[in-house]
Amino acid sequence: MKTLYLLRHAKSSWEFEELSDHDRPLNKRGRHDAPLMGRELASHEISLDLIVSSSAVRALTTASLVAKELEYDTEEIVINEGIYEADTPGLLTIIKQTPDNLDTVMLVGHNPEITELANLLSPEHLASMPTAAVVGLRFNCEAWAEISQENAALVLYDFPKNHI
């Protein structure tokens, strides 16, 4: 069995016009929502073998805040430069290249691709994922190269507004 968590980065700030899109930080709501979602994941006793994040500041900050709540060493987060500009097939390729000795993986990325990937793999249709939303999918297979909608089960779909 393989389990994949897809996490959309938390709400980012548009306050700093001089920053590139890649370098935008989280805003106040994002800094609140990311740890909130981490605590929610922790309440489900989720333990991750690997977190892979986009190199964008907002995604990497989200990954770090969630990781802390899950007691995952933030130094072990793998930054994948390709996630930032990847299309949906590109994200799927990144996941399918995950070493098979890892069973539970989180990918932290951006919309619309993260929602498109969730819908590509989920047997149930999902609306556009809001910021800091997480989708959990469990696959009945032993290799990441074998994951597909046909062997998937949706095990989690959660987002911050569920907890207001």
CA distance 126 to 148: 16
Contact 121, 4 (CB under 8 A): yes
Q: CB 7: neighbour CB atoms within 10 A?
A: 26
Q: Which of 133, 131, 127 is nearest to 11 (CA)?
A: 131
Residue 157 CA, chain-centre distance (Å), reads 12
CA distance 56 to 144: 25
31 among annotated binding-site residues: no
Instruction: Say which residues have a Cβ less than 8 Å from residue 157's Cβ, sequence separation at least 6.
Output: 126, 133, 134, 135, 136
Question: Which residues contribute to the annotated binding site?
Answer: 58
Question: Which residues contribute to the annotated binding site for substrate?
Answer: 58
